[in-house]
Amino acid sequence: MPYVLNSNTPAQRWEDALISGNGSTGIMVMGKPVDETVVVNHEKLWVVNAAEKREVVNLQVELSEARKLARAEKFKEAEALLKNAFAEQNRQRYADDTLSGVRIRSDSVHPAFHLRIFTPAAGDVKHYNRAVDLGSGEIKVSRQDDNGTLQRKCFVSRAHDVAAIKIANSPGKKLNCKLRIEEAPGKKTGQLGEVNIEHHDNEMYFHAAYFNTAGRPEPEGYHSLARIICNGGCSRAEGEEISIEDADEILLLLKLEYLDRANAASKETLRKALEQLPEDYDRLLSAHVDIHGEMFDRLRLEFDDKDKKPQTPNEDLLAESEESGPSPQVLEILHAVGRYALISSSGELPPALMGIWGDTWEPAWAGRFTFDSNLNLAVSYGSQGNLPEAMESYFGFIESLYPDWEANASTIYGFRGRLSCIAQGWRHGLAMH
């Protein structure tokens, strides 16, 4: 049985969006029938939240004094001594807007931007459905109106490192559509610096640089190019959006790239990469499924359940579970969803607290990698599911932090060995909290 999640209602909040990803780039599809929002994400898009270079606080003198107090059973005084020393060193070293109380403000995950897709309906919308096939990573949103059945299909390719979106109406029915790229709302002052958005007849471009540099000579950033391929009809830029009229179908190919140096962006390099791809959604999907599907199918959990209802909407399955407990079908889906999420968010880095997805500039716990249990649980399917690729992301990330963890142990305690933070971003492993 294919593992397909489907719903007869669009998402009302980003936490309920359908997700797809190739490990590094991710998309979240809200599934709105007319005015769609696709949130675009990347594993390395974390706000740089310090202007200065991070350094480990040296508490060796204070630790010696605190131990003396502790041996005299003056535990509160020992704790206060360390907290005050930690706070004072940070205040002397960092600007006020870098601090969160006495701590260094953490880097935090954020969305890249929003892709908006407006497809007006002819009359009332009916027979709506949104679904994601976990075995392929493909998301489909469909609706009917007086002009036929409109369907949007999309996925993020492991084979070609692009997000592909196809929009088509019933055979013989023309398609009108408006597209635009816009900043994700909620950005705070000092998170991004310069932002540039361009709309041309057949492409859209987004470029952003971070405001802070953490002591580096140049800011990091990211950019993305979306190529628009119309079968029939015409596409033209109209101010801050693109208008498409009388098309038979639309194919959009989007490539997102993190930049170690924001000024090193090359729009032409992205354009050439997109121009080399097949202008065929099914061919692109097939190449992706060859990789993603093989990984997903290394493990299957199946119960002997004669009452399976493959097309049952998620809402009905969850309602039945609340009433009579989770069915074998629900347990199978939950098992598959965990495996799907790990495959889709294991790239150069392992999945952070929200994987590679999210649509907020102020995520809980900054969206960080948390080492108490969350990261361990996120990669637990790596061994169960025979996914060495995912575990390689995890092992490589941990090993990259060893030098910083060794600096933590030696600077704070004067010890050999390694000391990690309970939670951190990907740029460094220094103990800032």
| CA separation for the pair 80, 323 (Å, rounded) | 51
pLDDT of residue 98: 66
Report the pLDDT value the prediction gives residue 415, as an integer from 0 to 100. 87
* Residue 214, CA atoms < 13 Å, CB-side half-sphere: 18
Numbers of helices and strands, H then E, in the chain: 10, 22
pLDDT value of residue 269:
97
pLDDT (0 to 100) of residue 105:
74
Number of neighbours of residue 1 by Cβ within 10 angstroms:
10
The tokens of 66 are what? 């605190």
Closest CA relative to residue 372, chosen from 433, 410, 415, 424: 424
Strand partners, 228: 252
**pTM for the whole structure:** 0.94
Within 13 A of 368's CA, how many CA atoms are on the CB side? 20
CA distance 53 to 428: 11
Helix axes 60-71, 75-93, angle to 10 degrees: 170
Over 325-348, what HEC string results? CCCHHHHHHHHHHHHHHHHHCCCC
What pLDDT is recorded for position 373? Answer: 86
Q: Give the integer Cα–Cα distance in Å for 83 and 367.
A: 25
Which amino acid, one-letter code, is at 205? Y
Q: Read off the pLDDT of residues 268-317 as tens digits, 9 standing for 90 and up.
A: 999 999 999 999 999 999 999 999 999 999 998 888 776 677 778 888 88
The list of the chain residues with pLDDT below 70 reads 1, 96-103, 306-307, 433
User: Residue 97's pLDDT is what?
Assistant: 66
**Tens digits of per-residue pLDDT, 225-245?**
999 999 999 999 999 999 999
Token pair 């006495």 is found at 102
Q: How far apart are CA 154 and CA 157, in angstroms?
A: 10
